[in-house]
Amino acid sequence: MARACDVCGKTASMGNQVETRGKAKYLGGVGTKVTGISRRQFKPNLQRVRCSLPNGTHKTLMVCTQCLKSGRVRKVVKQKPFQLPVAHS
């Protein structure tokens, strides 16, 4: 099972981990120097969420937080919202 978002397909991407030493010039130092660059992975922030699908069924999906925040998935309603009783007249 790949660690990818089931909605948008976001997966891990590669980047650099840059290691520096020294004090920044604006803080009174002589400037920072790069002492090492190594490869690293940026992994997506995946959450396991129970979603309601358009056909009315529920399914557990691995969804990235950007899809959750943007509203691309609809979470399952665990409980009906509270409603006031209707007075009969």
Output the pLDDT for position 83: 84
Supply the pLDDT for residue 47: 95
Sites in the chain below the pLDDT cut of 50: none
Helix or strand holding residue 29 (H, E): none
Q: How far apart are the first and last CA of the chain?
A: 59
- pLDDT of res. 1: 55
Q: What is the pLDDT of residue 82?
A: 84
Give the C-alpha separation, 1 to 66, whole Å: 21
All structural domains of the chain: 13-70 (2.30.170)
The pLDDT value recorded for residue 84 is 86
pLDDT tens-digit series, residues 54-66:
898 999 999 999 9
